[in-house]
Structure 1
């Protein structure tokens, strides 16, 4: 007779109850953590050992695995491994767990997938900041779907993405991992990414991170404390997470490393249980950020030892420790000391087993190595389209689009470096796992793309300078590793050599136009100029890139500056002296080709900034949706943004006219506001405009931002063509967190602004919300609808 838990005809609830009743305490605890192993096809798996994850031995590992395992950490993403060999090794581990342990519970394999599945051979997508610049939710859902298919094909069933942190301070190294600085844009794009990644049946788990407020750390430093009140936390930083849970049924959430007002996120019952599960109805798994539980006793000092740290985190609402069992291994001790109860452990294990059954792992634990599908034509096409749509023309004196008869000096350290087009969580860049780097042979650099487009005889390439002359590893992983910061002395790895500038100047003098490619080399923990743990104190271009740009501009040759980076940078006062400025972010493997497509006009530019470019590092933190008094009194000279959120130029011109409202007032308790206008292409080329609707609460019981994005839409128009655009905004979206700590819609006057960016407002009107103050509870309308009609 088949055991109930093995019978797929039974309900998941019955199966889980049956299995849980058979488990020993050791088998339960085994489901509550992962192992980070270097898997082998012959079953002789090795424990990954380094300063980050610690160490273990083979005999101890075998004994532990006999009880089962909750998750396996990055089996194909931890080192360069042939995908087929990696799948065979993963299947070997799975076979042991399913066929040779007492209960045969399969393991969940997780990988990183922020900009593509982070394993050898995976498609290298643009960075999340580039995703945000597309303002194209449908395309981002397609990205999620393609990445999810690649992940499933190598046995991965949980992806540690997307990042829902709302960018606030461009000095923060992880800015590149965010969708941008607006919570509505972040939440909408993340929700669509999650839908694509998980699929209709949620047979794959997306992981929302870093929950929450991670991007507002002190001084934009990795892991630094966050000093934030509940209203700002709820309205800005929690909103994208709530959207992804309610709108996309996200399957997993990962807490952040920092503390908020003294409470570490990994030990916050309020965030992990009260808000996430009780208020929002989240029913998935909460997984720790890597060694996040250990930091409760090692750094935060809210626990005395691993047992107490484990008890704090698991009682707060955590389900699975990643990447290993640093603290979960001490849960029996925590039980004996009365720090945690068996009922809590049972509830956690019940959730883990439920998710494994939902994923279908009990029926289909193995991966077909013949079904591996990486770098498919469809995936590459999607990566190319995202890269094209993310290129933002910041400024253009008419030199763009480039005539293909021009001779071009292609200059700069990012012009021919494939790693300069990749973010920190792409496989070739992510050096936490080893010093081995993939060759990134699939990456099309700007040099290769322009030489293919213009011919090598019209391209004069000169590197101009280095950003990093050698890639390094071994920097301190966490702030706090050095107890006395006054004695810490670190040398920057960024190059200061000026030797290559003269050759670049000569190349510029001999050309019709100079394209100067500057920016970042991403790398985590100070192995790059941006990325996780690679924070900065300035928005000046890293190293001597500003000196290179100064020298090239002085030649008098028209200069087009292309920034491929993980954060915005200033140009040292040259903004008015360059012929054009382009923000290309990290464009992924198709980034160079996409750049050539846009600059030559083969593809019309349609990217818009999802993050403002502050006037200087001193303006940070800067974001468009700030409070009225954020500029200081008198207004600080360094405050503001030359290129704000939503900004981006086309090769044609649009006008906005004929604004109408469908009503003069609306009840707070129901309905929506419809605002319509005519958008017309008055230029000589077809092009895409992205009209944006911003709202301001004119009089409110608490201080509110000067404007907030509530709707947008990509609209393509041929020359002379017009369209009627209608934004329909639910009154729920006028809500905010009131003085008593819950979300309300308050009556009053609201200004509605239609613009081509957060600063370029073309049409304005006002709507009155009437009726009582309304508390919003449970599900609420979080997304505007947009209608476009062509006469």
Structure 2
């Protein structure tokens, strides 16, 4: 027996003596409040003191933005929160600091970082001092590309983060987000979203890292490590909640939350690996998805939540529902006839906590009292939540320093980091005749388009209200970089969705009078106060709405086409018709139809939603201050009729349609640079057998161009003969490498048995002997070096 086991045994003996000698309620210094005991003992002691109602309350995550009242520069708890403590025994809040049109929190009615910290302190103090057991709260916040609160740093959305192909940078970004969240009193950050985006009509593509399980896995690991650090009791880290478990990103017809058609082998082989990797990296929370898989809603799926997640993967954190998804077992999926039955289905499946406050609560209490849920099952769920409260040190240190929050949130270092992430996220799709980077001969620059000078269209969904001077638009970025010798003029031209043509003529006239035109088009996920929202926070789309917002992407805004909306194409065509050099900059949340632009526009930059520093980042690339290094994490189709069009399709190879070929317009992994790279001298060695098998790959990379730049080196594998149908090509490793002009680097990758395994006919995870084709290159269709190897 080791020392930790001896200590634990002694603590259990002490626990038994104390419990026997003095009734629990009479103890002056109960074990759960004594930090000298380990977490297991404290959890066991606290649960032994709790009623069924109090246990259910610990599993209820109420909507938090109504739990405080702001009066001038003062903030205090609301009557609604007092009732939640006294009547619902609530143990968690969600989105307490969230501000957006749905919550009706604005720059005026919401909280700056200092007041936010004071609000969460007030909420914690009231919960601790006005509840029977004095249990602190867990406060969860939305954190996919920055903490969704006023005054925080806004980074590019996840699809842009995926375009960096730089997990180390994303980990650094996640650490900054965690710091800003924790200093304001948050404990849980919702993110990363690990859904594979293989359906671009779906409204939430922007929240994902793209279509590939390996890229998603590496990004997920980076986010978890950045959020949680090495110790969640650090005071600067937060718990990471993985979303959405699982296969949420491929709904039939692109309908958000709709059912998915995924076989079990594909589920295991493609959709679960990013979650498994993030759990292995230490993730402490997982959120269920709204969809069903093969007729079983994810929020009531015992195989997913208990057998795979908890038993096979050893997940130690807690599972939380998506907002209202337990009630959705009654209203949406119709697999339960009552709220009590829905609570029992979810709890018995392994769903620990309810995001809403009405999925469990009284319904769960009734289910326990009626014998539909065992006390043991309830205790297991409660212990998973309480364990994290103890491990975060909330019983000893429930409060935060408001002054530190004021000084640290959105500091200059974080703003600089936002610019760096944005720069690396931008993908150069076309650069005819090396129009870019712009040279000094262009003295008159026209900046045109609905996304050229719109701060909210640049930021993506899950973004709080912003002060105007905190976001750098494309127009501002170009003006700041162009210098005094260049005239930069602006014309909006049109809106995203509105079909008015009254401003197009002015934009065309401006282009004619300029040396070069930068046309900024795309989409928007910017929530506005005109749009109505469902209880889940998703936008309620009204195709016949009188007032047309720009919003065409973001949760709830599913598309039937991928065309540029409104009169954007008319504007682009008219500007190109002037004969002036045209650079198309795209700011958007999903792949759009770029067929005409790819044939007729001189240069194209895809910036996704680049965040608050997007304008500066785009200017950095336009003027050559940074060599574009972004690569596509998702394929860009030519038509919705091709869908799905992800690169790692199952054999056999697709064939052409009557109207068009089968290939996407731009492939997964694609992206241009201002310099050129040459790949040479591929060598591959196989050593070991079975689980000890290793494949070591060596090659050289040379920058043969005239400026420094970064190349994303990608290693793909094809299993030439397999017992089950396998992908035609599959990414396995990648590395972002920076090379000076003329520099050569000798690079290597190592593949392990896990990298080459598959689920065989018996759904066993095995390495099959045979031949594999190794492919090294710059994208999934730009393979520079190949070699076959044999696994014996």
The answer to whether TM tops 0.5 is yes
**Residue 387, structure 1, aligned to residue 417, structure 2:** no
- Segments of 5+ residues of structure 2 without an aligned counterpart are 1-27, 100-104, 528-537, 542-548
**Residue 643, structure 1, aligned to residue 666, structure 2:** yes
Question: What secondary structure sits across from 1:364 in the alignment?
Answer: coil
Match of 1:480 in 2: none
How far apart are 1:714 and its partner, in Å? 1.1
**Residue 375, structure 1, aligned to residue 397, structure 2:** no
Question: What secondary structure sits across from 2:518 in the alignment?
Answer: strand
TM-score (norm 1): 0.89
Q: Deviations over 1:428-462 (max 9, x none)?
A: 3xxxxxxxxx4453110000111111247511211
Match of 1:752 in 2: 774
Match of 2:92 in 1: 71
**Residue 593, structure 1, aligned to residue 622, structure 2:** no
Which of residues 594, 597, 620 is equivalent to 1:571?
594
**Residue 460, structure 1, aligned to residue 482, structure 2:** no
Match of 2:534 in 1: none
How far apart are 1:500 and its partner, in Å? 1.1
Match of 2:147 in 1: 117
Contact 1:172 1:220 in 2 (8 A): yes
Q: Could you say if the C-alpha distance between residues 561 and 752 of structure 1 is closer, same or farther in structure 2, counting changes exceeding 3 Å?
A: same
**Residue 618, structure 1, aligned to residue 641, structure 2:** yes
Question: What secondary structure sits across from 1:98 in the alignment?
Answer: helix
Q: Deviations over 1:214-266 (max 9, x none)?
A: 011101110110111111111111010000011x1001000000101110000
Contact 2:116 2:185 in 1 (8 A): no
Q: Deviations over 1:455-498 (max 9, x none)?
A: 4751121111011xxxxxxxxxxxxxxxxxxxxxxxxxx31111
Match of 1:486 in 2: none
Show the 5 A alignment for 1:17-416. Answer: 17-37=44-64, 38=66, 39-40=68-69, 43-45=76-78, 47=80, 61=84, 63-65=86-88, 68-78=89-99, 79=105, 80-203=110-233, 204-246=238-280, 248-372=281-405, 373-397=408-432, 398-406=434-442, 407-416=444-453
How far apart are 1:353 and its partner, in Å? 1.1
Match of 1:699 in 2: 721
Distance, in Å, in 1 between the alignment partners of 2:340 and 2:688 is 55
Contact 2:92 2:139 in 1 (8 A): yes
Q: Deviations over 1:661-695 (max 9, x none)?
A: 124x7633322101111111111111111111000
Contact 1:115 1:423 in 2 (8 A): no
How far apart are 1:623 and its partner, in Å? 0.7
Q: Could you say if the C-alpha distance between residues 62 and 656 of structure 1 is closer, same or farther in structure 2, counting changes exceeding 3 Å?
A: closer
Question: What secondary structure sits across from 1:348 in the alignment?
Answer: helix
Q: Deviations over 1:513-535 (max 9, x none)?
A: 11111111114524611111111
How far apart are 1:302 and its partner, in Å? 0.7
Match of 2:505 in 1: 502
Which of residues 40, 45, 51 is equivalent to 1:13?
40
Q: Could you say if the C-alpha distance between residues 575 and 535 of structure 1 is closer, same or farther in structure 2, counting changes exceeding 3 Å?
A: same
Q: Deviations over 1:77-114 (max 9, x none)?
A: 14222332232222222112212211101000111001
How far apart are 1:425 and its partner, in Å? 1.2
Match of 1:687 in 2: 709
Q: Deviations over 1:274-322 (max 9, x none)?
A: 0001011100011111111110001100111111111111111111111
Question: What secondary structure sits across from 1:629 in the alignment?
Answer: coil
Which of residues 763, 771, 775 is equivalent to 1:741?
763
How far apart are 1:635 and its partner, in Å? 8.0
Match of 2:9 in 1: none
Contact 1:756 1:762 in 2 (8 A): yes
TM-score (norm 2): 0.89
Question: What secondary structure sits across from 1:756 in the alignment?
Answer: strand
- Segments of 5+ residues of structure 1 without an aligned counterpart are 48-57, 429-437, 468-493, 771-791
Which of residues 420, 429, 439 is equivalent to 2:457?
420
**Residue 716, structure 1, aligned to residue 738, structure 2:** yes
Distance, in Å, in 2 between the alignment partners of 1:383 and 1:453 is 18
Q: Could you say if the C-alpha distance between residues 249 and 635 of structure 1 is closer, same or farther in structure 2, counting changes exceeding 3 Å?
A: farther
How far apart are 1:44 and its partner, in Å? 4.7
Distance, in Å, in 1 between the alignment partners of 2:193 and 2:255 is 17
Count of residues in correspondence between the two structures: 721
How far apart are 1:371 and its partner, in Å? 1.7
RMSD over aligned CA atoms reads 1.7
Distance, in Å, in 2 between the alignment partners of 1:666 and 1:6 is 52
Contact 1:690 1:756 in 2 (8 A): yes
Distance, in Å, in 1 between the alignment partners of 2:52 and 2:398 is 24
Q: Could you say if the C-alpha distance between residues 180 and 578 of structure 1 is closer, same or farther in structure 2, counting changes exceeding 3 Å?
A: same
Distance, in Å, in 2 between the alignment partners of 1:702 and 1:400 is 46
Match of 1:50 in 2: none
